[in-house]
Amino acid sequence: MQTWKEMKEIQPLAAQMLMNSFKKDRISHAYLFQGSRGTGKKELSILFAKSIFCKNRTGAEPCLECRDCHRIDSGNHPDLHWVEPEGQSIKKEQILHLQKEFTYTGMESNRKVYIIVDADKMTTNASNRLLKFLEEPSQQTTAMLLTESGQTILDTIRSRCQLLALQPLNSRRVEKMLIAEGVSESNAKLLASLTNNLTEALEMNEDEWFANVRKLVIQLIEVLQNKPNEGLLFINHQWMPHFKERKHLQRGLDVLMLWFQDIINQYLDREDSIVFITEREKLEQAAMRWSRQSSAQCLSYILEAKRKINQNVHPNLVMEQLTLQLQR
């Protein structure tokens, strides 16, 4: 997301608000970008910094070619300062160092910008020190605080920032972005159905463990269709060894749900909604085994299994019961 036009497609409201600040020449001294992982907080802060420093910008749009733009991309702009957690937290000493840096005159101009990543991870002392910094804002200083959890940031800090809430990405948007990143269409559809977090989706695409989840779901369906008497054997000897943690088992059940949703989509001729596009022949065979009504019942069984996993019922017992239910 190099331009404001691209950013508006992802985060229209936040992008428009920041673009308007340039049109009206009213850049606030502090912003709080709040949104879940993968919604573009860091990209938005970098683009905003470019617009602040770029001497050749057109309206809010930075030129992307000048020395300032290139130095921001490379992380070497002397008047743009990043603060990120050291270990598990952002410490008071990091904020003190930032304040010290800001006592010096800007290297390129009088303007300075700082970006605090995971601002919710500031210690109490760091938060109090930042608050004092924000209470005496310089007209030439702009702060950007990035967080997934704005509610954990001090109210006194929040009140001194302009809040921009970033919206989750919709599945079609995530799917297109994944394909643009080189992910296959079939994987993009599956990943976009499981998460609206682009970063998480890309990580899952590179994860061999996740690639095997898809294979295991297809194998389970084939066993249930063709060798139902071997269902419990498959669960105990192939399925459960792969899903050793409850969160992993939940992911496997999520993919299994998508399979039965696809059967229903096939009955309703919702071609665009089908996720398992490379397994169309297997889907057609599955539709002969499970009717639309029984597929809907299977979805209920899987949801109940997910609920039991959250309630700490023994995973093996949950999966064995679910397998018997899906065989009916």
Residue 123: inside a domain: yes
- Asked whether the beta carbons of 305 and 251 are under 8 A apart, the reply is no
Lowest-pLDDT range of 104-108, 211-215, 309-313: 104-108
What is the pLDDT averaged over residues 188-208? 91
Q: What is the pLDDT of residues 235-291, one digit of tens each?
A: 999 999 999 999 999 999 999 999 999 999 999 999 989 999 999 999 999 999 999
| Helical axes 280-289 vs 246-267, angle rounded to 10° | 80
Residue 190: inside a domain: no
Position 9 scores a pLDDT of 84
Residues whose CB falls within 8 Å of the CB of residue 285, separated by 6 or more in sequence, listed in order:
225
**Whether the predicted pLDDT of 156 surpasses 80:** yes
In the structure, what pLDDT confidence band is assigned to residue 108 with cuts at 50, 70 and 90? low
Position 245 scores a pLDDT of 93
**Whether the predicted pLDDT of 88 surpasses 90:** no
Position 167 scores a pLDDT of 87
| Domain count within the chain | 2
Residue 223: inside a domain: yes
Residue 183: inside a domain: no
- Residue located via tokens 């994987």: 187
Position 196 scores a pLDDT of 81
> Of all residues in the chain, what percent carry a pLDDT higher than 70?
97
In the structure, what pLDDT confidence band is assigned to residue 312 with cuts at 50, 70 and 90? confident
**Whether the predicted pLDDT of 136 surpasses 70:** yes
Note whether 120 and 218 are same-domain residues.
no
Note whether 211 and 161 are same-domain residues.
no
Quote the strand ranges of the chain, DSSP E. 30-34, 80-83, 112-116, 141-147, 162-165
Position 311 scores a pLDDT of 87
Note whether 126 and 238 are same-domain residues.
no
Domain that holds residue 129: 4-165
Residue 312: inside a domain: yes
Residues whose CB falls within 8 Å of the CB of residue 259, separated by 6 or more in sequence, listed in order:
217, 218, 221, 276, 286
Sheet holding 30-34, edge to edge: 80-83, 112-116, 141-147, 30-34, 162-165
Residue 155: inside a domain: yes
For the full predicted model, state whether its pTM sits above 0.85. Answer: no
Rounded distance, CA 264 to CA 254, Å? Answer: 16
Note whether 135 and 259 are same-domain residues.
no
Position 29 scores a pLDDT of 92
Mean pLDDT of the chain, nearest integer: 92
| Helical axes 185-194 vs 198-205, angle rounded to 10° | 130
Q: How far is CA 148 from the centre of its chain?
A: 10
Position 10 scores a pLDDT of 85
The strand pairing partners of 122, in sequence order, are 90
90: left (phi > 0), else alpha (psi -120 to 50), else beta? beta
Q: How far is CA 224 from the centre of its chain?
A: 34
Position 74 scores a pLDDT of 92
